[in-house]
């Protein structure tokens, strides 16, 4: 049966997965390869990266000391076994001297409470207003 | 797997159409036709509502006379069930207020010979962090 049953606290689960994801981004991006499958796609401002190697290679181009701060968080269940997470946040780098606002959307596919992978991911830097 | 190959074109055209309908008070009511009576789920600044009627009720409750959405960026991805994930960044201007940045996400789901909005998430981009 699909994992994401009705009544589950979707927002709490998604928030935990996102928190773990950002934590991993900050400590060892190579480990993030485990949350992507060959069909997973990351779009960063109209550029697409498909599969764990291409996706993590893109992330490795970002500043090494980046810290992700979540400003707003929404999550919706996407039947049968997807969870959509919508994050607005700030990337803080250069020891806090610089920050960059971003928008980040995930579709997690749940295989069990502990096992998920990211099937869709869109990341945009916010450079206006 | 049923990825829609035209996802980018469809997603971008949909986005333009959505805000054109929204920004014109004469056509705003037509947005109802883009939402499903039961399935559509909206989060508006963290508040959730489900179904076309409740969603349109939320939109109708917003207090502005004039509104204009200016789209800065749109990214789309195909989903394996034939849906389209859309991330929009832009600025909106209401009445005589200064422009505000916003983020809006849509998930379109195929229905009949068209698409409906299955998920709609709207957030203003705030300047100050309230973690």
Name every chain B residue with its beta carbon within 8 A of the beta carbon of A41: 77
**B55 prior amide bond cis, ω within 30:** no
User: What is the model's pLDDT at position B103?
Assistant: 97
Say how far apart CA B48 and CA A76 lie, in whole Å. Answer: 9
> In angstroms, what separates the C-alpha of B77 from chain A's closest C-alpha?
7
pLDDT higher than 60, residue A5: no
pLDDT value at residue B131: 40
> Which residue from B minimizes the CA distance to A104?
B87
Q: Sheet of A47-50: strands edge to edge?
A: A47-50, A36-44, A116-126, A98-110, A82-93, A67-78
Name the β-bridge partners of B123: B103
Backbone angles phi, psi at B130, to 5 degrees: -130, 70
Q: How far apart are CA A30 and CA B98, in angstroms?
A: 43
> Could you tell me if B117 and B108 are in contact, meaning their C-beta atoms sit under 8 angstroms apart?
yes
Output the pLDDT for position A115. Answer: 80
List the structure tokens of A99. Answer: 């920050």
- ipTM of the assembly? 0.92
In this prediction, residue A8 has a pLDDT band, given cuts at 50, 70 and 90, of low
Read off the pLDDT of residues A88-129 as tens digits, 9 standing for 90 and up.
999 998 888 999 999 999 999 988 767 889 999 999 999 875
B114-124 sheet: strands from edge to edge = B47-50, B41-44, B114-124, B100-111, B84-94, B67-78
Q: Do A128 and B72 touch (CB under 8 A)?
A: yes
Residue A33 forms contact with B (CB below 8 Å): no
From CA A55, how far away is CA A33, in angstroms rounded?
Answer: 8
Residues of B in contact with A129 (CB under 8 A): 91, 99-101, 125
Residues forming beta bridges with residue B110, ordered by sequence position: B115
pLDDT in tens, B23-70: 999 999 999 999 999 999 999 999 999 999 999 999 999 999 999 999
């Amino acid at each position: 049966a699909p994992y994401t049953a009705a009544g589950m606290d979707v927002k709490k689960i998604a928030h935990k997965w996102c928190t773990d994801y950002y934590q991993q981004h900050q400590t060892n991006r190579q480990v993030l390869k485990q949350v992507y499958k060959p069909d997973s796609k990351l779009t960063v401002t109209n550029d697409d990266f498909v599969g764990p190697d291409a996706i993590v290679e893109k992330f490795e181009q970002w500043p090494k000391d980046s810290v992700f701060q979540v400003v707003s968080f929404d999550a919706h269940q996407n039947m049968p076994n997807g969870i959509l997470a919508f994050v607005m946040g700030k990337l803080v780098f250069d020891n806090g001297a610089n920050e960059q606002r971003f928008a980040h959307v995930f579709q997690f596919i749940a295989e069990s409470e502990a096992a998920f992978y990211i099937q869709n991911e869109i990341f945009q830097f916010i450079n206006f207003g | 797997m049923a990825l829609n190959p035209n996802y980018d074109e469809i997603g971008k055209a949909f986005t333009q159409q959505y805000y054109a309908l929204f920004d014109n008070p004469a056509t705003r009511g037509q947005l109802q036709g883009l939402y499903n009576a039961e399935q559509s789920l909206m989060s508006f600044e963290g508040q959730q509502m489900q179904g076309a009627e409740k969603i349109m009720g939320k939109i109708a409750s917003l207090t502005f006379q004039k509104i204009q959405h200016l789209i800065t960026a749109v990214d789309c991805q195909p989903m394996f069930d034939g849906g389209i994930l859309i991330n929009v960044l832009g600025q909106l201007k209401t009445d005589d207020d200064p422009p505000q940045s916003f983020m809006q996400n849509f998930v379109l789901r195929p229905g009949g010979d068209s698409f409906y909005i299955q998920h709609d998430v709207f957030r203003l981009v705030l300047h100050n962090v309230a973690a």
